[in-house]
Chains A and B, each alone.
Chain A
Amino acid sequence: MTNSMRQPTLQTMGLGTVLDIFQKGQLPVNTAELVDRVFGKAGNRGSLVISGANGIVGAGKAMQLGSRLQPFDIPIIALDFPGVADGIGKQYAGLERAFGRQGASEIMENVIRFHYDGKKLPAQLKDFQPRFLLEAIPEILEIKKAHYEVFRAAFPGIEIRSVTSGFPGSQLGVGIAHPAFPHEINKTWEIVENEPSAITQLLWALGMIPLTVSDNWSFVLDVLFCGLTLTGSRYHQNRNMPFWKIDKYIRKILGPNPFRAHDAIGAKGANFLTWSCLHHLTRHYGDLFKPTPNLEEHKDSGQNWYPLNHFRPLVNWSLDAEEEEDFRTWILGPLCQMTSLMLHEKRAHLSLMNSVGELCAQFRRGILSVIRDMGGAAAVETVTAYHKLHPEAAGDSWHPEVFENMDGADWQQLYVNAEHDGTVGAITLGRESYNSDVDAELNRAIDWLKNAGIERVILSGDFHLTTQLVGADTSDFYPALEDAQAGVEIAGGWSKTARRLYKEFKVSVGFINGKRCLGGMLELMMHCHYLITVEDAALGMPEVTLPVVPGMEGCHWPFRKTGAKNWPKLMQMLLTGKAVKSPEAVGWLIDYAGPLEEALKKAYLAASGGDHGLPLRKVEEGALKGLPKETGSIVPPGDAKLEAARLAIFKNIQASCAAPLTEAITIQAKHSADFMLNPLCQKGSIGAEFYKTMKI
């Protein structure tokens, strides 16, 4: 019996809990078995048909699924009208970059192209036994339905999923697998189906991120993204600000550039899709979603939202405090209202609804996290203020009651969940980068386990929304670029949280699954008593390259856990920023690296007190002696910028290692914070991003 703070998102796909995975020492489903279930057993394998395969979605998915299904010999049938532009050919260069020439060729060998006239399927298609149709044809309901009939008549029992962004499955009569842009690399799919299917589980097993959503007109991603585009266009309509500048202000408060995104995707198609989504939403939910005249114009003309190159903007726009508040009302008001509708309709698990914006639409923080931060009362006030600006939106689709109680774990634990079986707990991270939300939620998760009397814990990704752990969310450092105290509070506060894993549990095990664990996430993980990884994970501290100085105890904690002979390796990692493969890090940075199932079993054994055979690397609490006095012999020289960052990190290592553990936390936080004000940091990638995003 597993207890959890809130429902694990894995359960939305019928895949149980994270603790189940550790207890059983294996993933809940096996990819090969799922391939057999969906496409038939080896020797009698059917094929995947992608119709509309030369379109942006079809071609992207042909490449993505083609590369992942290639080891299983699943033919990818790319079906489209004759004479349409070759979308698949355009993808080859990217494929070659990702997989090398030979890998790309092997993937393409498995992609078979057929043409058809929209009515009659090619006769040879039956030779490939189509088992799964991924439909990516134009967004016209009747054409889609007729398309399914043609396939069903020819191949009874074929599984069909539509990539539609707007039509509900109830209208189409098929399930939905709506992928997010850019289609060749984005792993996220919105899934609509009555019960978790083998297809959805196969997508997950292939490394994708399926997000189960309810069956409505336009799914969560499009309500958010098309809705955000609409809010920007409505602001433009009323306040004249050009779209390029609206993008900058939207990026400042939320993250995305909705208009730039339309141009990048291809304005002609994207404008139509956005309009179509809003048009249908208006019919069902009222004027909140009504396309503005400029959206209609862009739909009809297919014109870009940004000016042509020879008319790059000349006159700047900036908003004073009052105008910026007005802007926030125009943008956040309708967005809060749209979110209230989605919450009212229970469109998705809250963590999934929240993550859609981050994973698919460049939101710095998910919409629910933003609203949580605003507070329910403020969200309602913002919508009320918006209704004064746009009274037509007040009539329908406003459900303020959903913001009345945000104290439950579903709202409070959007990114971090906790589970336990009475003895062992699991804390699962549903966000690939560490930020203040994750920090607060992690603290609440620890509290919850402690209150349940759990003394043994595994910290890991959630096997769903995180496929790697990339480090700290550097946008959280923005305040620290202007205020040293803010930097001290971030570094000190996050370090304090990390220390709880070391101090407040009898046993804590960090488990690293996925391709990499870097920076702040690695610093967090190394605070666990044991650190276990899969064998192909890369581990690194790339801070020096940004440049920033690690502030979550990365400059002294790992030194305290290993002997002096290994310090040069830590120095090398910190001062070059180069990652190491996990098997090379055993004994001085981590405690075990192995194949996934072995690593899972080892982690559970370590956490549950079984015979795991891993020596405990104790943390030296006194001052360390004998650290190198200079970096020259350890790392090769770099450019002046890199050298200055190295020097700052080196000084942090020297100072924090020379102090007792109790004092080191403050010393290292101050070093990290001080460097944020260094002109080098300000000119580095975080400083550049800060000025580009916030100083507009």
Chain B
Amino acid sequence: MSKGDSMFPNARIPYGTWGSSYFPAWQMSPLAEVNIGQFAGEAMNKILGKRKIPKNLLEYLVIGSTIPWHWKFWTAPVVASCMGQRLPGYHIEQACATGLQATLLAAGEVQNGAYDVVGTLTFDRTSDSPVGVFPERRAHERTHAISDVWDNFGFDPATGEAMIATAGYAARKNKVDRREVDECTFFRYGQYFDALESGFLDRVLVPLEILNLQGRVMGKVDSDAGIRKITMDALRGMNELDTCITGGTQTHASDGMATLLVTTAEKAREISSRPEIDIRFIAKTEVRTLPSLMPEAPGLAVQKLLDRTGLTMDDMVVVKNHNPFAVNDIIFAKTLNYDWRKMNKTGCSLVWGHPQGPTLTRIIIESLEEAVDLGGGYVMVFGCAAGDVGIAAILQVTERR
């Protein structure tokens, strides 16, 4: 493709029609007790209301989540009903790539002319993960019971390795220095708290009150609960769980939702709070690395995407990724010869946690807000996903004068 071409020339993300819940760490908020599909539908409705977007403008809904939830069989239609709008739609999941993939699929629905306004709604509850019981005749137990979150993290059936082990392997292969990993982590926490204290995140995150069965407020989801400021000494003092991997240099499970809209250019101008801002989809790609080297995959995906578009990292005004391990960023920097200090300026999932489905959606929203602050330009969003996959996409923000 030529430089500047768009993969979905008819699709836009209308500025300011998005929002995310905070991502409280698992078991730390009322979200641990809710049907997350219902919560997501209701929260999306409220976020749209706050943004003064009547939900009846939506024509279609793409939902994304990775952990089973009650009545998941009914997918997007039941979530839409919880939103209060009877929309058709479907559910997608691609582990940690879900948020970006759902957004791109929504753009595809607009590009193919099926709809003018498509909602992307991603969510997950890692707390109290459901347990699946699978008949498994080849196993001596005859039946496997799997805790969806933790048992999957601990075992990639394609390689037999745990997720954390891929970080260790990649760190060793790429000769990652533990001191740099700690330094990067410390830096990332600083970026998050700077963004939080500046008020930047107030444009992205919407505080929500959760009701109990009697309709009384049982708690608030108004912070990325579970995150505290960290010192370099504390990081350095942590025991390694695998090479360069400590409790501090990896993300944590959390709960939450995030949503944005994808529309035609005309609709975007009509409903955006800043119609002069134009957000386009440029390109997307995915790669799969050698077995158990997942942290290498994002950098390879980004390199492939740059090669295909003719763009360079210098063209990017915002670079932001899903980085469950700090080693991801170190390896990415080595692969692209890029300074990891120049990315994730408003925070990242290493710090604010990882509810899986909505993680990359929040990353997209934060990166677009940041790009608008910077006067526009190309935005590189990327991350890793289960199965040693890397996904990357480029968006473009321009301001019509």
Contacts and interface: CB of A to CB of B under 8 A. Distances in A.
A660 interface: no
Nearest to A293: B56
Contacts of B217: 316
Interface in B18-67: 34-35, 38-39, 42-43, 45-46, 48-49, 52-56
A313 B42 contact: yes
Nearest to B46: A315
Contact of A316 (B45, B52, B209): B209
Contact of A237 (B54, B209, B211): B54
Contact of A314 (B35, B53, B54, B55): B35
Contacts of A99: none
B29 to A, nearest CB: 13
Contact of A242 (B39, B84, B208, B213): B84
A236 B83 CA distance: 12
A119 interface: no
B43 A312 contact: no
B108 to A, nearest CB: 26
Contacts of B211: 312-316
Interface in A312-336: 312-318
A313 B212 CA distance: 8
A586 B42 CA distance: 61
Interface string A222-257: 000000000000001111111100000000000000
A294 B39 CA distance: 22
Interface centre among A242, A297, A316, A317 (most CB of B within 10 A): A316
B56 A237 contact: yes
A314 B38 contact: yes
Contacts of B208: 315-316
Interface string B71-84: 00000000001101
Contacts of A236: 84
B86 A315 contact: no
B87 to A, nearest CB: 12
Contact of A311 (B82, B86, B209, B210): B82
Nearest to A307: B82
A306 to B, nearest CB: 11
A312 B213 contact: yes
Contacts of B45: 240, 242, 315
Nearest to B214: A312
B71 to A, nearest CB: 9
A239 B49 contact: yes
A240 B34 contact: no
B79 to A, nearest CB: 11
Given A314-B211, A317-B46, A240 B84 contact: yes
A665 to B, nearest CB: 40
B215 interface: yes
Contact of A315 (B48, B52, B210): B210
Contact of B46 (A240, A294, A297): A240
A556 B209 CA distance: 48
B303 to A, nearest CB: 41
Contacts of A294: 56
B128 to A, nearest CB: 16
A315 B55 CA distance: 16
Interface in A41-60: none
B210 A314 contact: yes
A318 B206 CA distance: 13
A216 B37 CA distance: 47
B83 to A, nearest CB: 8
Contacts of A293: 56
B245 to A, nearest CB: 36
A484 to B, nearest CB: 27
Contacts of B53: 240
Interface centre among A294, A311, A315 (most CB of B within 10 A): A315
A321 to B, nearest CB: 15
Contacts of A312: 211, 213, 215
Nearest to B36: A314
Contacts of A315: 39, 42-43, 45-46, 208-211
Interface in B171-225: 208-211, 213, 215, 217
Contact of B34 (A237, A314, A317): A314
Contacts of A311: 35, 38, 81-82
Contacts of B86: 297
A314 B42 contact: yes
Contacts of B209: 315-316, 318
A642 B215 CA distance: 28
A27 B43 CA distance: 60
B258 to A, nearest CB: 14
Contacts of A297: 86
Contacts of A243: 84
A317 B54 CA distance: 15
A240 B48 contact: yes
Nearest to A313: B211
A316 B211 CA distance: 6
B53 to A, nearest CB: 8
Nearest to B45: A240
A294 to B, nearest CB: 8
B42 A240 contact: no
Nearest to B53: A240
A502 B82 CA distance: 60
A240 B49 contact: yes
Nearest to B49: A240
A521 B349 CA distance: 65
Given A313-B215, A315-B42, A240 B55 contact: yes
Nearest to A294: B56
A311 to B, nearest CB: 6
A294 B85 CA distance: 9
A240 B210 contact: no
Given A315-B42, A318-B209, A240 B54 contact: yes
Nearest to A242: B84
A315 B47 CA distance: 11
A316 B220 CA distance: 10
Interface centre among A240, A242, A294, A316 (most CB of B within 10 A): A240
20 contacts: A240-B49, A240-B53, A240-B54, A240-B55, A240-B84, A241-B49, A242-B84, A293-B56, A311-B82, A312-B211, A313-B42, A314-B42, A314-B211, A315-B43, A315-B46, A315-B208, A315-B209, A316-B211, A316-B217, A317-B49
The 10 closest A-B pairs by CB, nearest first: A240-B49, A316-B209, A315-B42, A240-B55, A240-B45, A314-B39, A316-B211, A315-B43, A314-B34, A239-B49
Given A240-B55, A293-B56, A316-B208, 6 more contacts: A297-B86, A311-B35, A312-B213, A315-B39, A315-B211, A316-B209
